[in-house]
Amino acid sequence: AKDYELRQYETAKWVSTVIRGETQKEAMRQGFWKLFHYLQGKNEKEIKIDMTVPVTCLVKSGCADYKISFFVPFEHQNSPPQPTDSEVFIEERKAAAIFVRSFGGFASPEKYAEEAEVLARILRNRGQSFHEDFFYTAGYDSPFKLFNRHNEVWYFKK
């Protein structure tokens, strides 16, 4: 469809952390740095790992916990080094069909929520079945990139 796409993602490992009781913006900041330190060598092998995109944030309705995640680069998918920070963990996300809506600009939590609501409305109107109680935000750009930014919201197909 012109206003969203349906993607099939394969099973993959992500490095994640959960930030509790903060605003989404503050959770993203804290989570980013925890995960960035993992990439910089705060892991059992003390190796540097390349930064990947997207950076995702799991947003659940009525919940103040946010799970921030980085995709583990392909060369480390089979055996990612274990984090040494007890609040950082490796998770395997199962293969899934995901409805995706893309948009540009600098994405605030409010903008992500607005785009997620637009996507949810479109999917309901088209009779698509999806998990409505949570969505992911996905950011693809460094904070220093000013133009042609790419952001997404994801709903998982039922």
Q: What is the pLDDT of residue 142?
A: 87
Q: What is the pLDDT of residue 32?
A: 96
Determine the average pLDDT of the residues in 69-73.
Answer: 97
Whether 106 contacts 25, CB under 8 Å: no
Determine the average pLDDT of the residues in 28-53.
Answer: 96
Give pairs for 25-28: CB < 8 Å, separation 24+: 25/108, 25/109, 27/57, 27/66, 27/68, 28/55, 28/57, 28/66, 28/68, 28/109
CA distance 7 to 121: 18
The superfamily in CATH containing domain 5-156 is: Regulatory factor, effector binding domain (3.20.80.10)
- 94-144: per-residue pLDDT in tens? 999 999 999 999 999 999 999 999 999 999 999 999 999 999 999 999 888
Percent of the chain with pLDDT over 70: 100
| Cut 0.85: pTM above it | yes
